[in-house]
Amino acid sequence: MIWEIDDAARTIEGLDAHGRPMPGYAASLGLLPARPGQRVLATLCEAAIALILLLPLLIVALPVLVGAALDPEPQQVLATRSDLIIVLICAAASWFLSIAFIIVRARRCTAAAG
């Protein structure tokens, strides 16, 4: 059996010669561009989701860390806190959830564009 590699350039439907989407093709599929109000609303929804993901950091961890930073001996202040593990877990959870949200949004945007 002989394997052959197809070197011919493949054409993708809906793209012009420069690789840009053709508006007429998208309209024939029923795809319409979003109105500016819809885009603003989508952006506000994503910002609200990001803020919700950061709430544990903002409510629990940030006041503790700011208080420690303003103290002359921040290590001593943090070492004597009995709830330091909870503060660190809240900060880490917010960080990981925010990074996951950013990665998912980036993947969706690149999948939609390509």
19-69 pLDDT tens trace: 888 888 888 888 888 889 999 999 999 999 999 999 999 999 999 989 889
**SS3 letters across 74-85:** HHHHHHCCCCHH
- Number of domains within the chain: 1
As a whole-number percent, the residues of the chain with pLDDT over 90 amount to 42
Note whether residue 77 is domain-resident. Answer: yes
Q: What is the C-alpha to C-alpha distance for residues 19 and 17, in angstroms, rounded to an integer?
A: 6
Residue range of the domain that includes 39: 35-113
Note whether residue 51 is domain-resident. Answer: yes
pTM for the structure as a whole: 0.64
Note whether residue 2 is domain-resident. Answer: no
Note whether residue 95 is domain-resident. Answer: yes
Q: Which amino acid is at 3?
A: W
